[in-house]
A and B are shown apart, each in its own frame.
Chain A
Amino acid sequence: MVEPLRIIDFGRSSPLRSQTLWHAVAYGVSASERATLSFTRPAAPYVCLGYHRGTDEVDRDYCRDNGLLVLRRMVGGGPVYLDADQLFFQICLPARAVPASSRQALRVLLEPAVMAFRGVGVPAVLDEDLEICAGDRKICGHGAARIEDAVVVCGNLIERFDHEQAARVLAFDDRCQRDQTLALMRRFVSQTPVDPAAFQAAMIAAYASALGLGPQAGALTGDERTALVDLDERFMSDAWLGGATRSPAARTGKPTARQVKVRAGVWTLGASYDGARVAAGVVRGTIDQVRLQDRGLNGSTDRAEQALTGVPLLSAAQVLADFGDPGRRLARAFAMADPARL
């Protein structure tokens, strides 16, 4: 007899419940070992932080003034803007049914989603960075976690993507980096306006086939409802929102660069050193766009920016060596970049 794949369609949920519902499922799967594929769509826009990320990465004042709740999830990744034009999906399995390697687990649990995208006509691929893309554009945000004895991988169908808001809710020290982030989001993050019902059906078929399970409509159990109440309270608490970690700057007292990942290999950098300031967009290791500020550059700013554009990030110091003390200060700002930790 084929084991069931529990399917739960939560429909539209409040921002809070669009997170806590599937976290409750994870606790349920951990206890009961029933594989579950769930769906929900937030009824209102909000901002969601990955488990390890700092609240200082979000423009809290803007969010408050615009009625955007800020929540923290248990899965990884950065701060993201979420709204009703995104259909969330979550696949949750007992940990023993998932490869122990997190990369292998992600591959196994994202491949069916790729098949579902293809099933509705989107030429999706799972790239070497384990992102679901069409061409060079990311089309699905994902995150994953082991929650007790369950593994959950979540993602979204982005029917429409509000690039402006996605960049606006993030905190930046200067306008240049925000503009660069927005420009790169427009180039490298794409919406897929397909029929969500067809996508949902394709997802159920793809996951059931890949996991060898039989789809079966289900609902939260009593224990999951109890967990949901606890999660609602936890996720709205200041302690939970504050997070598990302090930023490296807070821990070490040393200034750090502001790095914003747009998709794998595409990110922006904002960094200052001794009055010099750099804002740069980086695409596959190459400086794609850059704005420089330094009191000593005088009329050389344009020339320095042009010299850096199209150059590997690792060669920035070499290029800036031609620009004297301002170049050395700017090189120190560039050196604060740490793309491995994006």
Chain B
Amino acid sequence: MGEASLVVVAGFTLALDRRYQPETHMWVLETGPGRVRIGMDSLGVETSGTLAQLSFFATGTELTAGRPFGQLEAAKFVGPLISPVSGAVLSVNEEVASDPGLAERDPYGAGWLIEAATRETGVELPRLLAEPAEITAWFSARIAHYRLNGLIAQ
């Protein structure tokens, strides 16, 4: 990820070199043909609270877009990590599983969650936000919404 692709929107970092699933705050970065890296954006991390635990489905597990690929725990609440793509888990980030704070400190870099082989690349990836202008507009609107509802600090 180049420095130039990282911008700050209303206090939150945003990487513009990848795609986003807007409801779940998951990003998808293509790392090769039929292969993607998945992580959570800085706003998703912030609204989850301090991450106490992250767990992922094992390598080889089938993935379905909109269904979990793992779980996160914050404030004793266990919630699903929702996959933005269908396919299979290729690898999981053991470092972030051991130190969930990595996802908070470096959400677009070392804090990635899993790598996946995609099955419906031509169908599912185009559904995600990809244009820097639309990503920035969406991100900015979510920050305003979360601030209005007291989910993040003013």
Contact = CB atoms under 8 A, between A and B. Distances in A.
A76 interface: yes
Contact of A52 (B49, B78, B80, B94): B78
Interface string B77-114: 11110000000000000100111110000000000000
Interface residues on A, range: 20 to 34
B121 interface: no
A298 interface: no
A103 B151 contact: yes
A341 B149 contact: no
Interface residues of B, number: 26
Interface stretch (A34-42, A140-148, A182-190, A201-209): A140-148
Contacts of B99: 248
A29 to B, nearest CB: 16
B56 to A, nearest CB: 9
B77 A102 contact: yes
B74 A104 contact: no
A105 B75 CA distance: 11
Q: Which label, helix, strand, loop or mixed, suits the secondary structure of the B interface?
A: mixed
Given A244-B55, A341-B52, A76 B98 contact: no
A104 B145 CA distance: 14
Tell me which of A74, A129, A251, A342 has the highest count of chain B C-beta atoms within 10 A of its own C-beta.
A251
Interface string B23-65: 0000000000000000000000001111011010000000000
A63 to B, nearest CB: 22
B97 A251 contact: yes
Nearest to B67: A148
Contacts of A106: 75-77
A76 B71 CA distance: 11
Tell me which of B55, B98, B151 has the highest count of chain A C-beta atoms within 10 A of its own C-beta.
B98
A103 B76 contact: no
Contacts of B101: 340-341
Given A51-B71, A101-B47, A102-B75, A146 B80 contact: yes
A48 interface: no
Interface in A5-54: 50-52
A144 B78 contact: yes
Nearest to A104: B151
B73 interface: yes
Contact of A51 (B47, B50, B78, B146): B78
Contact of A251 (B74, B80, B98): B98
Contacts of A74: 78
A231 interface: no
Tell me which of A105, A106, A245 has the highest count of chain B C-beta atoms within 10 A of its own C-beta.
A245
Interface of A: 50-52, 74-77, 100-106, 129-130, 142-146, 244-245, 248, 251-252, 340-342
24 contacts: A51-B73, A52-B52, A52-B55, A74-B78, A75-B77, A75-B78, A76-B78, A77-B76, A101-B47, A101-B146, A102-B74, A102-B75, A103-B47, A103-B49, A103-B75, A143-B77, A145-B78, A146-B77, A245-B97, A248-B98, A251-B94, A252-B94, A252-B98, A340-B50
Interface of B: 47-50, 52-53, 55, 71, 73-80, 94, 97-101, 146, 149-151
